[in-house]
Amino acid sequence: MQCISTHRSFDGVTSFYSHHSRVCNTTMRFSVYEPPQAIERACPVLFYLAGLTCTEETFMMKAGAQRWAAKHGLMLVAADTSPRGLNLPSKADAWDFGVGAGFYVDATVAPWSANFQMYSYITQELPEIVAANCGGDVTRQGIFGHSMGGHGALVCALRNPGQYRSLSALAPIVAPMQCPWGRKAFAGYLGDDEKSWRAYDATELIKKTQLAFPILIDQGLRDKFLAEQLKPQLFNNACEAVGQSLIYRSHAEYDHGYYFVATFMEDHIEHHARLLNA
């Protein structure tokens, strides 16, 4: 593992790393915020999954999360959104598919299947690396994300209910099988058999797996992707049907970007801190 840079932040340290991933079979990057409490003890780890076109830098630079992580003693880890630098078809240059758009699935269709194993990377390899090299307490893991990353966080937690102790999302894609972004990604990465897509659709997963803790979701009502791509009511209805505790908050005048994300970041960090520090 190579440390690319470190930056002092709210009495802690934000660092950027690259490493060879055995799961993705290529170089991957991630970032870590170590709060000041990490000097004295192993801190709970909160994983953040970013949205389309983002990198491991986006969250650390734009969300303002370090201030609140320092207050509550949480280690933040932000992954990149896909493998990069590979000789892939020209479709990899599309902003909503390929590079920067891994959708947190394990691809089964060539050529993507050789490297685009983002689900296994997030749920298995990255926690191992953080525990071994950064000193985080991965027995207390939380996960959250924005947009495509909100989709990824929901899926990772619902498929691994014993691994995560907290979950939240900001403007997530909650029903990818029923929106253009998700259908494009799933067809490209997973093939035409839509039965296989259900393993990566939070609205389908919640019907079979419920969590012992509440899920927090925030959504802006001026989000231009709300009606076509995000469709939060589908997930809300599914949670209500099975009795899953869901804190869903909608906000007038807020859009899809990081101005929205940063506004409600304190709330999300506090939501995770209550569960991870309990």
Q: How many domains does the chain have?
A: 1
CATH of the domain at 137: 3.40.50.1820
Q: What angle do CA 19, 23, 25 make, to 5 degrees?
A: 65
The reported pTM is 0.97
State the pLDDT at residue 87. Answer: 80
Mean pLDDT of the chain: 96
What average pLDDT score do residues 112-120 get?
A: 97
Query: Could you give the CA distance from residue 167 to residue 268 in angstroms, rounded to a whole number?
Result: 9
Does residue 12 register a pLDDT over 70? yes
State the pLDDT at residue 92. Answer: 54
State the pLDDT at residue 165. Answer: 98
Q: What angle do CA 54, 56, 60 make, to 5 degrees?
A: 100
Query: Could you give the CA distance from residue 69 to residue 48 in angstroms, rounded to a whole number?
Result: 12
pLDDT tens for each residue of 25-81 = 999 999 999 999 999 999 999 999 999 999 999 999 999 999 999 999 999 999 999
State the pLDDT at residue 95. Answer: 86
State the pLDDT at residue 129. Answer: 97
What average pLDDT score do residues 253-277 get?
A: 98
If we measure between CA atoms, which residue out of 30, 273, 32, 260 comes closest to residue 146? 260
State the catalytic residues: 147, 223, 256
> In the chain, pLDDT over 90 holds for what percent of residues?
96
Q: Which residue range(s) make up the domain with 117? A: 2-276
State the pLDDT at residue 93. Answer: 62
Contact 58, 76 (CB under 8 A): no
What average pLDDT score do residues 9-37 get?
A: 98
Within 8 A by CB and 6+ apart from 190, the residues are 105, 107, 108, 109, 196, 197, 200
pLDDT tens for each residue of 226-255 = 999 999 999 999 999 999 999 999 999 999
State the pLDDT at residue 54. Answer: 97
Find residue 77's DSSP bridge partners.
Answer: 32, 47
What average pLDDT score do residues 196-224 get?
A: 97
Does residue 91 register a pLDDT over 80? no
Contact 77, 126 (CB under 8 A): yes
Contact 257, 246 (CB under 8 A): no
